[in-house]
Amino acid sequence: MSGNVNRRDWFRAAVIGGAAVLAPVAEGQKAMPGQTADSREHPNWTAPDLAAADWKPAFLDAHQDATLAVLADAILPETDTPGAKAALVDRFIDLLLAAETPERQKAFVQSLSYIDGESFSRYGAAFVDLKPEPRRELLELIAYPMGESGWTGETIGGGDGHSHFEHLKGWITEAFYSSEVGMKSLGWDGQVIHGSMMGCPTKPGQGA
């Protein structure tokens, strides 16, 4: 397993668990947000409070984070259960991105920029500023792979936009279902252990 995957797993455990003591960062690995060289040697790093009123992105800029939040909410809206907004998906992803490789960071930003670029090109406004109808129209356009309509023979689908959409959707759904809100939407009751812990039965005079 790569160091990159390990860092993402550490972040998940830290955020879901509320606070976690993380293993030392391997030599040459990127420091986690909030870590110094000294804290990597004696790591007591705990996950930042993603719900804090003064929260700020660790990797994305403010506009990128706002775009991600709106996109996540459009993909996983609140219905009869909480959606991406309640799960703080944009903040969780920002935390994960801060520990990613430059290549994966660049790919994510490129996909996010594509969504914004298409929004400006088609509607003359940033994605976060679109009304619900054009926002839905744009996402429906890129949500499906390029192909020919069986009815008209016309080329339809999102082309490059589809790959960017799928890339972002993968991040968003993974972050959502890694969150407490997402896991509870799948039926998790919040309990780590069910039932009572029972020791092994022994006879008198026998060791444990």
User: Nearest Cα to 58, choosing from 36, 37, 34?
Assistant: 34
Dist CA 93 CA 60 (whole Å): 9
**Predicted confidence (pLDDT) at residue 121 exceeds the cutoff of 50:** yes
Q: Which two tokens stand for residue 114?
A: 């594509």
| Burial zone of 133 (CB within 10 Å; 0-12 exposed, 13-18 middle, 19+ buried) | exposed
Phi and psi torsions of 134, nearest 5°:
-65, -30
How high is the pLDDT of residue 198? Answer: 54
| Mean pLDDT value across residues 49-61 | 91
Check whether 189 has a pLDDT greater than 60.
Answer: no
Please list, in sequence order, all residues whose beta carbon lies within 8 angstroms of the beta carbon of residue 18, skipping any fewer than 6 positions away: 47
Q: Are 43 and 21 in contact (CB under 8 A)?
A: yes
Distances (CA, A) of 51 to 15, 48, 55, 79: 11, 9, 7, 21
pTM for the predicted model, two decimal places: 0.67
Q: What is the mean pLDDT of the chain?
A: 73
Question: Per-residue pLDDT tens for 16-32?
Answer: 443 333 333 333 334 44
